[in-house]
Amino acid sequence: MTQTPDNSSTLLKMAVKNLQDLLTDRTVPPEPPEELADVAGFSQLYSTLLEVRTAIREFSSGNLDHQITKKGYLPGSIKALQASLHHLTWQTKMIASGDFSQRVDFMGEFSESFNSMVTLLDESMQKLGFMAHTDPLTGSNNRGYFMERFDAELDRTKRYGGVFCFIMLDLDHFKSVNDTRGHAAGDEALRSLCRVLNSSGLRNTDFFGRIGGEEFAIVLPETKIQEAVKAAERVRGNLENTIVLHEGNEFFITASIGVSAYRVGDTRESMLNRADQAMYNAKEIGRNRICVET
């Protein structure tokens, strides 16, 4: 059909109106009129934009699995965005499961904000983990976390065999320190004890914690009773020679120490009770000494 200038102008206006409705109308636009069917390239352009429109609507409603069948630059760009959003969804699930190593490198400022958020989450979780496991005054393992690790070592020894030892120590005359020098001085005494424990040759596999007010405990994996007594003696000797400094005043502290070794069939309570009794025996016969379980 030969198109006159007036007819061409009418078809152009009609095509523009159909494409405009396709891109702006919230309702599903009707099929283009038959008059535009013979306009070169219009049907292909219309169907491509319709598929892009549909894909964007599906993505915005949360359906990232919508299939895009058209080819070309614009559908290809939408497919790339779809792939990135799919990967971002997977990364978000990984972060929710505790993997804070995830980072994104697309969408410019969004990537920077997302990566900063993940970094802050990672730091916050580390701080929460530290707080959950740590005694706030001394920085040592708190009672709950220490007992978790103690139980793990007990289970390991029961399963695979071997030996390990448990040391309990209690500061001597600690109430007197609090009463005569003040609780702040008592706090400094506890921190000094932890510094001594950290500097007394404990191995990487050994661990200690604060299990009561002035009571601390040490677990020595794969250690016989004789070696455990030697380790306890290093702690005792270092502690009695350590100056505690508080507000310009110096004083000394000592500890009474009890040692127990794993026996077949032991529970946590049985090992703790023997070490605790040995520690009180040390107090009864003069303090600042080590007693071994009977």
- In the chain, at which residue ranges do the beta strands (DSSP E only) sit? 164-171, 207-210, 215-221, 244-246, 249-251, 255-261, 290-292
**Mean pLDDT, rounded, for 191-205:** 95
∠ CA 259-260-261, nearest 5°, is 130
Examine the pLDDT at 255 and tell me if it is beyond 90. Answer: yes
Range of lowest pLDDT (15-24, 31-40, 225-234): 31-40
- 29, 20 Cβ separation under 8 angstroms: no
- 235, 257 Cβ separation under 8 angstroms: yes
- 142, 209 Cβ separation under 8 angstroms: yes
Q: Which residue has the higher pLDDT, 97 or 191?
A: 191
What are the tens digits of pLDDT across the range 103-128?
888 777 778 888 888 888 888 888 77
Mean pLDDT of the chain: 90
Q: Are strands 164-171 and 215-221 parallel, antiparallel or unpaired?
A: antiparallel
**Where are the domains positioned within the chain?**
5-96, 98-133, 143-292
What are the tens digits of pLDDT across the range 200-234?
999 999 999 999 999 999 999 999 999 999 999 99
| Residue type present at position 246 | H
Per-residue pLDDT, 3? 54
Per-residue pLDDT, 1? 46
Q: Is the model's pTM score more than 0.85?
A: no
Q: Are strands 249-251 and 207-210 parallel, antiparallel or unpaired?
A: unpaired
Per-residue pLDDT, 228? 97
Range of lowest pLDDT (24-28, 91-95, 248-252): 24-28
CA-to-CA distance for 213 and 216, rounded, in angstroms?
A: 8
User: In CATH, which superfamily holds the domain spanning 143-292?
Assistant: Reverse transcriptase/Diguanylate cyclase domain (3.30.70.270)
Q: Which residues are catalytic?
A: 214
What are the tens digits of pLDDT across the range 54-75?
888 888 888 888 888 888 888 8
**Mean pLDDT, rounded, for 181-199:** 97
Examine the pLDDT at 16 and tell me if it is beyond 80. Answer: yes
CA-to-CA distance for 258 and 239, rounded, in angstroms?
A: 15
CA distances from 121 to 78, 112, 127, 205 (A): 30, 14, 10, 29
CA-to-CA distance for 187 and 182, rounded, in angstroms?
A: 9
